[in-house]
Amino acid sequence: MAIHGYDPEITALLVIDPYNDFISEGGKIWPRLQAVAEANGCVPHMLQVLTAARNSRIRVFYAMHHRYRPGDYEGWKYIAPIQKAAWKRKSFEFGTWGGEIRAEFQPLPGETIVAEHWCSSGFANTDLDLELKKHGIHQLIVIGLVAHTCVEATVRYAAELGYDVTVVRDATADYTEEAMHAALDVNMPNYANAIVSTAEIVGSIAAMRPTLVETAGFD
Amino acid sequence: MAIHGYDPEITALLVIDPYNDFISEGGKIWPRLQAVAEANGCVPHMLQVLTAARNSRIRVFYAMHHRYRPGDYEGWKYIAPIQKAAWKRKSFEFGTWGGEIRAEFQPLPGETIVAEHWCSSGFANTDLDLELKKHGIHQLIVIGLVAHTCVEATVRYAAELGYDVTVVRDATADYTEEAMHAALDVNMPNYANAIVSTAEIVGSIAAMRPTLVETAGFD
Amino acid sequence: MAIHGYDPEITALLVIDPYNDFISEGGKIWPRLQAVAEANGCVPHMLQVLTAARNSRIRVFYAMHHRYRPGDYEGWKYIAPIQKAAWKRKSFEFGTWGGEIRAEFQPLPGETIVAEHWCSSGFANTDLDLELKKHGIHQLIVIGLVAHTCVEATVRYAAELGYDVTVVRDATADYTEEAMHAALDVNMPNYANAIVSTAEIVGSIAAMRPTLVETAGFD
Amino acid sequence: MAIHGYDPEITALLVIDPYNDFISEGGKIWPRLQAVAEANGCVPHMLQVLTAARNSRIRVFYAMHHRYRPGDYEGWKYIAPIQKAAWKRKSFEFGTWGGEIRAEFQPLPGETIVAEHWCSSGFANTDLDLELKKHGIHQLIVIGLVAHTCVEATVRYAAELGYDVTVVRDATADYTEEAMHAALDVNMPNYANAIVSTAEIVGSIAAMRPTLVETAGFD
């Protein structure tokens, strides 16, 4: 793959579903992600990318899954299997620790949390596209969970909507290596303009750092 | 206009922006709406329509405007005039009484509040279309505020997205009679399938009431 | 209103519905538009703005209404009044002169005609947003027909989706002065960042012209 | 999986990309699909499902990929890898045999071809959602090409937008068995309410056939 360039003015980091239920010890779904996530260092890598983005003043957006609330689905005539599972499991239950963003990933002032998504794509039925447009963003760096569901869905939508997308392959995880492989190696190469490692993207982001040159005066 | 029919299975009431700031004594924007709203009995009519819908088990959805929160707009490169005004005015400020739904209009269990809209249309950048689809809704009865901004925008979007729309002309209000006229008489007749009075729609809704016939047995 | 700036890199001209049926002598709907259009010089103004944009290498996009084809509406369960009228009137009938773009407004190579819209907004159910994103556009200059239907609908959608919008008030027209006034003076000031004359926008566009400096050599 | 029911009033067949380039001997991309498609009988199965739908008066919609035209991509600042490939390959070139629907799959009067999609999802930037709403459709039966790109993308979008989706597993194909498996077994079970064989769906569709009972009179 050729070198992929970034323009800091139009680049944002998109963090998908950094909920305790997903990526914290004790979270409801963590046991299913743990093997793959620990093997590739997903959580520390996510943090490295986030820190790099903040240091380089790259804008940060959070695409968060719908947090379960009682009554959400009772009146629905149609429901996708993944929604049925979230209902049964009460994933990211509103008002519980599992439905909170893991402490190290708490948004800072000036960072944007968009409306919760109901299925898998951070764009579908939310204001993510609007917020990106309002900030003039065209290039997305994507990290988070889960590779073959929310991450892939968001990457596919981003491509459909016209964004340039980079996925960080060791800052995501999945329930099995097979699902991870389907997402990263079979599907995303059609939609992501670059699929890179944390080390690579941290280097690219550092290169976008605003130059602060203070000339020392003479006295 | 010919008689417009409703099928209760696919009909919903859509209540737009029943915030204290809009329709309660003491609300920030109420003084600008008061003259038109009191002249046509907007608030009591809204309540009559809501009550009729509940009595007939017509589904109720709430399309609510974004509540102002500090930091919302600071990073935006592009902003519409109506958003600039909402920013300056801190309309429907989150955590304040003005940003609460007026007491009589509080949603009941089983009613759906969709994600807040950022501009005027209840559909744009929200899950309103999704929630309507999930409930199998194709016909909308629309009430609320403000006629030529959020109500008209939502009606136009509804028509663009394929819904059958009814507007209740004395269950909405506006800043001036001229703006009210532009919305109800110039623009909406292109997009709304029916524009009716509260008395008319309450009659239509009552006719949709599920029949509960219990035959008393003999003993 | 403060001076509104344009960045040529992210600015496009959007031409709405320059069909013969609308703006040519002999067109089906021209008789209804003629009075307002001739009073404000709509058609020559549209051409001036288009020419200015081309001279300054501002990108040009065409948002075109659905051209009537037999069978379009027969299976629809729900239809907006404006669609019913287009059906009955066979507006912009496919394969007829009325459904062709007026000769002087023919797109040039490199200009983009987006998918036809079914109701009024050039964005709804089309690839307009995608094409604008793909070209990096954030600022739109809007001309065309009809002020209170397709033009207003497109302006409202543009604002909802996050674009900065300028409307050229004497490069649009309407069926009545009242409808024109409702669009330009009552509604659009909420959504358009600037509403200007042809003379003003032609000046702004000329200022965006790429500078071509040829230094004369000495001999 | 439990038995999945269909209501003929709200069910449609969605045929994705039945272009000669994909599924006809001599098509540009057929050589890449041939092995998987012949192994599972994809093309005859597609035809069986289409015929069954027509016999049962189930509505048919066609979601067609953008046909290559010169100038499509030259001005784009951002482009997805799958679009770059379509550009280079001139897939489904407009005006050529490869860009025509394979003869046996030609739409009949009353069937709907929606606007062409630019990436993979039949919904993105098109009028597919609108046409489905206008016909009151909530349940989709999906057949066509290619399993892990356009079919999966359309299925994912359908689920995001609120539709009930059935995929016919032997009426689709892919470039490799691995990609087919990723689509049908890893990803789609999250989004499709049923994944069935042609034999199964043909049975379900036949059961939806309108009953035509003519009682023979006595004479």
Q: What confidence tens digit (pLDDT) does each residue in B165-214 have?
A: 999 999 999 999 999 999 999 999 999 999 999 999 999 999 998 765 55
Q: Is the pLDDT confidence value at A213 over 70?
A: no
What pLDDT, in 10s, does the model give residues A49-66? 999 999 999 999 999 999
Within 8 A by CB and 6+ apart from B125, the residues are A115, A126, A127, A129, A130, B115, B117, B118, C160
Sheet containing B11-16: order of strands:
B112-113, B59-63, B11-16, B139-144, B164-172, B194-196
The pLDDT assigned to A3 comes to: 76
Residue B27 or residue A1, greater confidence: B27
Distance CA A42, CA A55 (A): 20
Beta carbons of D169 and D184 less than 8 angstroms apart: yes
* pLDDT (mean) for A72-77: 96
Q: To the nearest 10°, report the CA torsion of C76, C129, B189, C71.
A: -20
> Whole-number mean pLDDT of chain B?
95
Residues of chain B with Cβ-Cβ distance to C191 below 8 Å are 80-82, 119-120
Distance CA D110, CA D53 (A): 13
B69, B73, B74, B134: best to mutate for the A interface, most A CBs within 10 A: B134
Which one-letter DSSP state was computed for residue B165?
Answer: E
Give the CATH number for residue C137. 3.40.50.850
SS3 C142: strand
Give Cα separations from B134 to A127, B123, C80, C125 (angstroms): 19, 15, 22, 20
Domain presence at residue A3: no
What backbone torsions phi and psi does residue B124 show, to the nearest 5 degrees? Answer: -70, 125
In this structure, what token pair is assigned to residue C101?
């773009």
Burial group, residue D218, by CB count within 10 angstroms (0-12, 13-18, 19+): exposed
The pLDDT assigned to C3 comes to: 75
What pLDDT, in 10s, does the model give residues B91-134? 999 999 999 999 999 999 999 999 999 999 999 999 999 999 99
Break chain B down into helix, strand, coil percent, rounded to 5: 40, 15, 40
In this structure, what token pair is assigned to residue C5?
């700036």
SS3 B59: strand
The DSSP string of D173-214 is: --SSHHHHHIIIIIIGGGT-SEEE-HHHHHHHHHHTSPP---
H/E stretch holding D53? helix D42-55
* pLDDT (mean) for D76-84: 98
**DSSP H stretches of helix in chain C:** 20-23, 30-40, 42-55, 81-89, 128-134, 152-161, 177-181, 198-207
Give Cα separations from C51 to C54, C107, C145 (angstroms): 5, 11, 18
The residue written with tokens 């009460």 in the block is: A90
> Whole-number mean pLDDT of chain C?
95
* pLDDT (mean) for D63-87: 97
Query: Which of A95-99, B196-200, B214-218, D37-41 shows the lowest mean pLDDT across its residues?
Result: B214-218
Out of D118, D130, D135, closest to residue C125 by CB: D130
* pLDDT (mean) for D110-118: 98
* pLDDT (mean) for A160-188: 98
- The residue among B7, B105, B1, B5 whose CA lies nearest residue B61 is B105
> Whole-number mean pLDDT of chain D?
95
What backbone torsions phi and psi does residue B165 show, to the nearest 5 degrees? Answer: -125, 135
Sheet containing A194-196: order of strands:
A112-113, A59-63, A11-16, A139-144, A164-172, A194-196
Domain presence at residue B4: no
Residue B3 or residue C61, greater confidence: C61
Out of C136, C138, C161, closest to residue A130 by CB: C161
Residues of chain C with Cβ-Cβ distance to A133 below 8 Å are 138, 161-163
Largest CA distance in chain D: 77
Pick left, alpha or beta for residue C78 (phi over 0 → left; psi -120 to 50 → alpha; otherwise beta).
beta
Sheet containing D112-113: order of strands:
D112-113, D59-63, D11-16, D139-144, D164-172, D194-196
Domain presence at residue C175: yes
The residue written with tokens 């597993």 in the block is: D169
CA distance D195 to chain C (A): 28
In this structure, what token pair is assigned to residue A136?
């003039």
Could you tell me the residue range of the domain that residue A188 belongs to?
A: 11-215
Out of D120, D138, D186, closest to residue A78 by CB: D138
Residues of chain B with Cβ-Cβ distance to D161 below 8 Å are 129-130, 133
CA closest to B84 among chain C residues: C190
SS3 A22: helix
Neighboring chains of B (3 or more beta-carbon pairs < 8 A): A, C, D
Please enumerate residues of A whose Cβ is less than 8 A from a Cβ of D.
77-78, 80-82, 118-121, 124-125, 138-139, 148-149, 152-153, 156-157, 159-165, 178-179, 181-182, 186-187, 189-193
Which one-letter DSSP state was computed for residue A127?
Answer: S
CA distance B20 to chain D (A): 32
* pLDDT (mean) for A22-32: 98
Provide the number of structural domains found in chain D. 1
H/E stretch holding B167? strand B164-172
Q: Is D81 close to A120, i.e. CB distance below 8 A? A: no
Q: Is the pLDDT confidence value at A116 over 60?
A: yes
Q: Is D124 close to A160, i.e. CB distance below 8 A? A: yes
What pLDDT, in 10s, does the model give residues A86-98? 999 999 999 999 9
Q: To the nearest 10°, report the CA torsion of C81, B189, C126, D12.
A: -40
The pLDDT assigned to B61 comes to: 98
Residue D213 or residue D130, greater confidence: D130
Neighboring chains of C (3 or more beta-carbon pairs < 8 A): A, B, D
The pLDDT assigned to A1 comes to: 45
Q: What percent of chain A has pLDDT over 70?
A: 95
CA C149 and chain centroid, separation: 12
Amino acid identity for residue C116 in this structure:
E
The pLDDT assigned to A4 comes to: 87
Q: Where does the pLDDT of residue D210 fall: very low under 50, low under 70, confident under 90, or very high at 90 and above?
A: confident
Q: Is the pLDDT confidence value at A191 over 70?
A: yes
SS3 D34: helix
- Going by their DSSP bridges, the two strands C11-16 and C139-144 should be labelled as parallel
The pLDDT assigned to D211 comes to: 63
The structure's pTM equals 0.96
Beta carbons of C165 and C140 less than 8 angstroms apart: yes
Q: Where does the pLDDT of residue D3 fall: very low under 50, low under 70, confident under 90, or very high at 90 and above?
A: confident
Beta carbons of D200 and D7 less than 8 angstroms apart: no
Domain presence at residue B3: no
* pLDDT (mean) for D41-59: 98
Beta carbons of C203 and B208 less than 8 angstroms apart: no
CA closest to A115 among chain B residues: B115
Within 8 A by CB and 6+ apart from B18, the residues are B46, B62, B101, B102, B105, B144, B145
In this structure, what token pair is assigned to residue B39?
């002249």
Domain presence at residue C2: no
Distance CA B122, CA B62 (A): 9
Domain presence at residue C55: yes
User: How many CA atoms are closer than 13 Å to the CA of D28, on its beta-carbon side?
Assistant: 17
Domain presence at residue D1: no
The pLDDT assigned to C1 comes to: 44
Q: What percent of chain B has pLDDT over 70?
A: 95
The DSSP string of B68-130 is: P-TTSSTT-S---HHHHHHHHHTTT-TTSGGGSBPGGGPPPTT-EEPPPBSSS-SSTTSSHHH
The pLDDT assigned to D71 comes to: 95
Q: Is the pLDDT confidence value at B87 over 50?
A: yes
- The residue among C61, C23, C26, C20 whose CA lies nearest residue C43 is C23
SS3 B16: strand
The residue written with tokens 């760096």 in the block is: A141
Domain presence at residue B2: no
The DSSP string of A52-75 is: HHHHTT-EEEEE-BPPP-TTSSTT
What backbone torsions phi and psi does residue C103 show, to the nearest 5 degrees? Answer: -50, -50
Q: Where does the pLDDT of residue A211 fall: very low under 50, low under 70, confident under 90, or very high at 90 and above?
A: low
The pLDDT assigned to D213 comes to: 55
The pLDDT assigned to C209 comes to: 86
Beta carbons of D66 and D86 less than 8 angstroms apart: yes
Cα end-to-end span (Å), chain A: 51
